[in-house]
Amino acid sequence: MKIANFFSVFSLCYSVFSVAKNLLNPIYAIVGPTASGKTEIGVALALKIGNGEIINCDSVQIYKEIKIATAKPSVEEMRGVPHHLLDYVSPNVKYTAADWAQDASEKIKEIEERGNVPILVGGTGFYLRALRQPFFESPKTDENLRAKLMKIKETKGAEHLYKILERVDRKSAEKLFPRDYVRVSRALEVFFQTGKAIVEQQPNRAESPEFTRRIKIFALNPPRACLYERINKRAAKHFENGLIEEVKLLRERGVKDDTNALGAHGYRRVCEYLRGERSLESAIEQTKQDVRNYAKRQMSWFRHKEDVIWLDGFGDDEKLQQKLWQMLK
């Protein structure tokens, strides 16, 4: 056999072997509500299996320059474990779930090509859904329309948007929850831009990547009272650690209040305080309430997913971690 032919056959065999090997290899996802200890158990899992690499699945931690209220892991907390899609997008960019799904897919491929194990860590269920169920080709975002819907939500609540959707697109409304603002507003955007129900267009979505069938999802389920106590203490600490000064600096650098970055929990209420729309005490208390509500929505989101494996407790609990190790065996 000629040398060139030999290397061609060898390359083909190696590629087939790599694909077959990956079909047997799991990809882990650690999800759950904010402040539940996802970072701690995600890093512990990566170290336990020895070759894990973490892909951030949090819609706020992706942004550069915003730090205090994001709970981004410090270098010490990472404990030498490689982290990806963390602190890498400009706060002025309108980064979407579809953008993240594409970037995460590429990172998963890179990690597995190195022979390592991808571990998705974060509480943004919409990101994980976008990865597992690619979106259909939808119209480009109309920022004016999105701003109008956001204003309605802020003044009348998410459920009012749902009532609008029920009137104009009942088929889509029947498949959504009244307080699921992200999906309800997207359904309204698609309807007003195309004149068609989003559920009629979704069957045209792209096929899910092969690796999505190998994702094993573990969700943290800490006691609600304890979780809320952690959330309240952490929110107060963010303000004590200079959250207002951080937002002032970002605004001075040209980051707008209506960006996704400054629209995040904590940052949004600080912007309202700086605009003179609420007192500092009100900003702090409303932030605590916002984050508690967000944690509740996160739990509801994952409870409606059939393939989620629940872990009762916080991720920094060594007993819970040991329970996960036993499951993986």
pLDDT grade for 13, boundaries at 50, 70 and 90: very low
Q: Is residue 101 within 8 Å of 267, Cβ to Cβ?
A: no
Contact 278, 269 (CB under 8 A): yes
How high is the mean pLDDT of the chain?
Answer: 88
In the chain, where are the structural domains located? 25-135+206-328, 143-203
Kindly provide the residue ranges of all beta strands, DSSP E only, lying in 61-158, ordered along the sequence: 83-84, 117-121
% of the chain surpassing 90 pLDDT: 65
Res 28: pLDDT: 98
Q: How far apart are CA 93 and CA 216, in angstroms?
A: 31
pLDDT of residue 189 exceeding 90, the answer is no
**Tokens of residue 266, six digits:** 């904590």
pLDDT of residue 53: 98
Measured between its terminal Cα atoms, the distance across the chain in Å is: 44
Residue 207 pLDDT grade (very low, low, confident, very high; cuts 50, 70, 90): confident
The half-sphere exposure of 49 on its side-chain side, counting CA atoms within 13 A, is 25
Single out the residue of 32, 35, 11 nearest to residue 233, CA to CA. 35
Does residue 182 carry a pLDDT above 70? yes
Alpha-carbon distance 81 to 212, whole Å? 23
DSSP element (H, E) containing 30: strand 27-31
Question: If you ran DSSP here, which 8-state letter would residue 63 be given?
Answer: B
Calculate what percentage of the chain has a pLDDT beyond 70.
Answer: 90
For 123, residues 6+ apart whose C-beta sits below 8 A from its C-beta are 31, 32, 33, 34, 36, 38, 57, 58, 298
| pLDDT tens-digit series, residues 252-273 | 999 999 888 999 988 999 999 9
Cβ 220 vs Cβ 313: under 8 Å: yes
Model's pTM, two decimal places? 0.78
Give Cα 43 distance to the centre of its chain.
17
Domain 25-135+206-328, classified CATH 3.40.50.300, yes or no? yes
CATH topology of domain 143-203: Histone, subunit A (1.10.20)
